[in-house]
Amino acid sequence: MNINYTSSDIQTICTGSFLQNTNQEAIHSIAYDTRKIHQGSTTLFACLKTATNNGHKYIEEGYKKRVRFFLVDENVATKKFPEATFIKVNSVLEALQIWAKHHRKKFNIPVIAITGSAGKTTVKEWMYHVLSEKFKINRSPKSFNSQLGVALSLFEISEDTELAIIEAGISKRSEMAKLEEIIQPNIGVLTSFGMAHRENFDSEEDHFKEKIVLFKNCEKLFIPNQLKDKLANPTSLIYTFDGGTIEENNINLIRKIAFDFGITKTAIDIKIQTLPKIALRMESLDGINNNLLLFDAYNWNLDGLEQALGYQLSLSNKKDRYLILSKSATVKLNTSSLKKVVAQYSLKEAKSTEKDLLIFGSNVEVDFNKLSDAILLFKGNQPELKRLASKMKARNHSTFVEINLPALKNNIGVWKSRVPKTCQLLAMVKAQSYGAELTKITEFLVQQGIGYLGVAFADEGVELRKSGVKLPIIVMNTDLSSWQDCFQYKLEPSVYSFDQMEALVTELIHEGIDQFPIHLKFDTGMHRLGFQSGDLERVIQYIKAQPEIKVQSVFSHLADADNLNDSSFTLLQLKSFQHISENVQKALPYPILRHVLNSEGLGNYPEYCFDMVRLGIGMFGISSNPEVEKTLENVIAWKSTISQIKDINIGESLGYGRSFIADKKTKIAIIPVGYADGFQRRLSNGKGGVYVNGKYHPTVGRVCMDMLMIDCAEDNLQVGDEVEIIGPNQNLKNLADICDTIPYEIMTGLSARMPRVFIEEID
């Protein structure tokens, strides 16, 4: 950011008042998180309020970091901060927006606004990649598309900006009109329009109308063909595109826009071949010697770099910091501006033995073998970077399961958009969340607005309670041995037979407990646990007679919801459930919840949501409904590293049973993953394989308990190279297919001995 305003300018623009005015120096940037402030004296700190925090609490901390300008909407004891200027406004967020709008107005340049259900960030980044051929562009960093993010993005526009690309996303009604006012775009791009992220809108039409408010003053609009008819009065010139996969459509769109901006077809073609892969997420891992490793594979540009450096600094707490880049990736950059950005974060070019890498650090010499307590930021995705990274990873991370929380969040959003507002989401977190991990995932799910949890056994519920989870928890299988846990830890048993119900009531009478919450399970065709529909009358009579229990919900489970060829059985089950649940509700004087859909049920029969749905595998990106699947993301990855490389001569054999004998001189790599980790033995001898540096390598010989071997005759792999067992090239579903099983079995088979690491969103 490189703005230039005085406090009087801001006071006038935002119609604020001075609580204290000490200083008329220039303000060059805006901060809203004191941890990210690095040039305090020319920064204005905006004291924003969120649901859980209040920026006014951090004034003192900001002041210590030499901040002398504060934008506030509460009263402040200014005497404690004699050198600071305080401008008070009605709302800090609104003031920032008004100011951003004013800033935007000063520049007579094309401003492109992008919105859409999915792919906004990808399109924005690709557009940037192609158009920067010709223009000096400012664009919103990462997916900075909220009300605040848009305002901050606009402040990035400066005298030498020739084109701005701003991403706009909304979560509530009427927000778009406001964004339109602030951005004042003259060109509009709608990437796609689907059901994801729709939770707060009544209908698709409604949502669409809301979205296109963004384009009301645009001279040009780029919009998918199929939506053209929905525009009420398409006065502006419209370019349409559609027809292919999401990626093809996006590329098509980029072509049209670039051509419209006067870039030649040949230049576009060349640029399209090098479109960056968009990875918006920062991954952090523990390193050896108490180092912390940050990975940002985000595409290469100085804005992205600055953000990553800011994040690193915010974590540093005076620890040494290093930035590690690949030399080959930086040759394209203007080195003097790179150095300028890096210098802002007090990093200097450092010497090391790593010849392919460009390193900046708190110290000018770095020996990676001895480095400790530092924070290493790896920016980029090149093999030479990954090599150093894997050397620096803590040993216990040589094989690990990676859980992508932003992807999980996306998936919850997708499922949420399929249920009516009155319907709750229950997350089934049995078997350690299907093998992923239990407590951290559950905590994250709670933040995403999950209202109920389900486990298979009481022990799992106890573990959740001990980790502090307060939500109601259903336990699917309970018996005599688990009643005490249910009482003590407030776990709600599923009740499925008369014997079991009587045993529970006996225990409740013994304990003197009344109104204990239970969930009635009916068997509507699965023929596993559950009362039969013929038991209905007797169940109702029993419950009415026993004040010890209170029915919290009635539910059933579908047997065939993923069968896309024949829905008849599922529909019978659903009808039967409708009948049973209505009768239970009628018989009881208090309201109960009704639920029958699991993930596949919600994917294929969303009209039967009732009051709650029970999500499991769908949260991890699996659905048999292709439309839904398209909008889901992979949550689980499974990675390891090569531990040894070996030459094998003609006639030599490999592994147990000598099932592989080389018929030519070859090379193999050994990976410390075996069937005890969940890599099934049936994948031996080329039935399965893994990816290294994006390339497939089949297994050779038999998979052992703790190791497997891959063929790498053709490739120059090295010890320490990262191995993808599950990931973007081979996802959970692909691996399950090769193993002739379902994703559930692969996931729950991921051994507990492998550590779980989490990808988290940095902002």
Ligand X SMILES: *Cc1c(COP(=O)(O)O)cnc(C)c1O
Amino acid at site 363? N
Interacting residue with ligand X among 284, 307, 326, 599 (CB under 6 A)? 599
Q: How far is the CB of 620 from ligand X (least distance, A)?
A: 9
Rounded to the nearest whole angstrom, what is the least distance from the CB of residue 577 to ligand X in the complex?
A: 13
Beta carbon of residue 479, minimum distance to ligand X (angstroms, whole number): 16
- Annotation says 319 is catalytic: no
Please, what is the minimum distance in Å from the beta carbon of residue 516 to ligand X?
A: 20
DSSP 226-242: GGGGG-S---SEEEEE-
557-586 mask for ligand X (x: CB under 6 A)?
Answer: x-----------------------------
Please pick, from the candidates 196, 388, 584, 615, the single residue that binds ligand X as defined by CB under 6 A.
615
Tokens of 237: 């010139």
List the structure tokens of 317.
Answer: 């707490």
- Sign of the CA dihedral running 340, 344, 345, 351: positive
Q: How far is the CB of 428 from ligand X (least distance, A)?
A: 4
Instruction: Give Cα separations from 273 to 59, 357, 642 (angstroms).
Output: 48, 25, 30
Among 283, 485, 600, 611, interactor with ligand X by CB under 6 A: 600
Given 183, 405, 612, 617, the residue binding ligand X (CB under 6 A): 617
Q: How many residues does the chain have?
A: 763
| 519 near ligand X (CB under 6 A) | no
Selected binder of ligand X within 188, 616, 689, 743 (CB under 6 A): 616
Instruction: Based on the shown chain and the rule CB under 6 A, indicate whether residue 618 belongs to the binding site for ligand X.
Output: yes
Nearer Cβ to ligand X, position 188 or 603?
Answer: 603
And the tokens for 102? 């004013």
Q: What region, left, alpha or beta, does residue 345 occupy, with left being phi > 0 and alpha being psi -120 to 50 degrees? A: alpha
Segment interacting with ligand X, rule: CB under 6 A, options 98-106, 308-316, 613-621, 689-697: 613-621
Residue closer to ligand X, measured from CB, 361 or 601: 601
Sequence-separated (6 or more) residues with CB below 8 Å from residue 506: none
Find the part of the chain contacting ligand X (CB under 6 A) among 195-203, 380-388, 393-401, 608-616. 608-616
| Number of residue whose CB is nearest ligand X | 616
Given the complex with ligand X, which of 295 and 415 has the nearer CB atom? 415
Cβ neighbours for 94, distance < 8 A, ≥ 6 positions apart: none
Which of 599/730 has CB closer to ligand X? 599
Output 303 or 600, the one with its CB closest to ligand X. 600
Residues 425-444 that bind ligand X (CB under 6 A): 428, 430
Cβ proximity to ligand X: between 654 and 747 the closer is 747
Q: Which one from 65, 271, 430, 733 is the annotated catalytic residue?
A: 430
Contact 178, 394 (CB under 8 A): no
Q: Are 278 and 299 in contact (CB under 8 A)?
A: yes
In the range 619-638, which residues lie near ligand X by CB under 6 A? none
Minimum Å gap between C-beta 45 and ligand X is 45
Give me the DSSP letters along 188-224: EEE----STT-TT-S-HHHHHHHHHGGGTT-SEEEEE
- Give a three-class secondary structure readout of 662-722: CCCCEEEEEECCCHHHCCCHHHCCCCCEEEECCEEEEEECCCCCCCEEEECCCCCCCCCCE
The minimum distance between CB 574 and ligand X, in angstroms, equals 14
Selected from 321, 614, 697, 702, the binder of ligand X by CB under 6 A is 614
What is the x/- site pattern for ligand X, positions 450-489, by CB under 6 A? --------------------------x-------------
Name which of 128 and 452 has its Cβ closer to ligand X.
452
At a CB cut-off of 8 Å and minimum separation 6, what does 87 contact?
7, 10, 11, 14, 16, 17, 18, 19, 69, 70, 71, 72
Per DSSP, 254 falls in state H
Residue pair 560/526 in contact (Cβ under 8 Å)? The answer is no
SS3 label, residue 634: coil
Strand-pair category, 357-361 with 237-241? unpaired
Write down the least CB distance from residue 555 to ligand X, Å.
Answer: 7
d(CA 73, CA 95): 10
Stretch that binds ligand X, among 56-64, 464-472, 580-588, 597-605 (CB under 6 A): 597-605
Q: With contacts defined by CB under 6 A, name the span among 97-105, 292-300, 545-553, 595-603 that binds ligand X.
A: 595-603
Closer residue to ligand X, CB minimum distance, 415 or 660 = 415
**Between 214 and 613, whose beta carbon lies closer to ligand X?**
613
Q: Minimum CB separation from ligand X for residue 634, in Å?
A: 16
| Bridge partners for 235 per DSSP | none
Q: Is 79 exposed, middle or buried (0-12, 13-18, 19+ CB in 10 A)?
A: exposed
- How many residues at the interface with ligand X, by CB under 6 A? 12
Of the listed 466, 656, 665, 696, which one is catalytic? 656
3-state secondary structure of 378: strand
**Active-site annotation holds for 430:** yes
DSSP string, 392-403: HB-GGGSSEEEE
Residue 475 CB, shortest distance to ligand X, in Å, is: 11
- Pick between residue 379 and residue 519 the one whose CB is nearest to ligand X: 519
47 within 8 A of 92, measured Cβ to Cβ: yes
Query: Angle 497-501-504 (CA atoms, 0-180°, nearest 5)?
Result: 145
Residue 362 is a binding residue for ligand X (CB under 6 A): no
Whether residue 626 contacts residue 609, with contact meaning beta carbons closer than 8 Å, is answered with no
Six token digits for residue 423: 């319907």
3-state helix, strand, coil in the chain (%, to 5): 40, 25, 40
- For the segment 145-204, give every residue that binds ligand X (CB under 6 A): none
| Nearest approach, Cβ of residue 533 and ligand X (Å) | 17
381 or 553: whose CB is closer to ligand X? 553
Applying CB under 6 A, the residues found at the interface with ligand X are: 428, 430, 476, 557, 598-600, 614-618
Positions marked catalytic = 430, 656
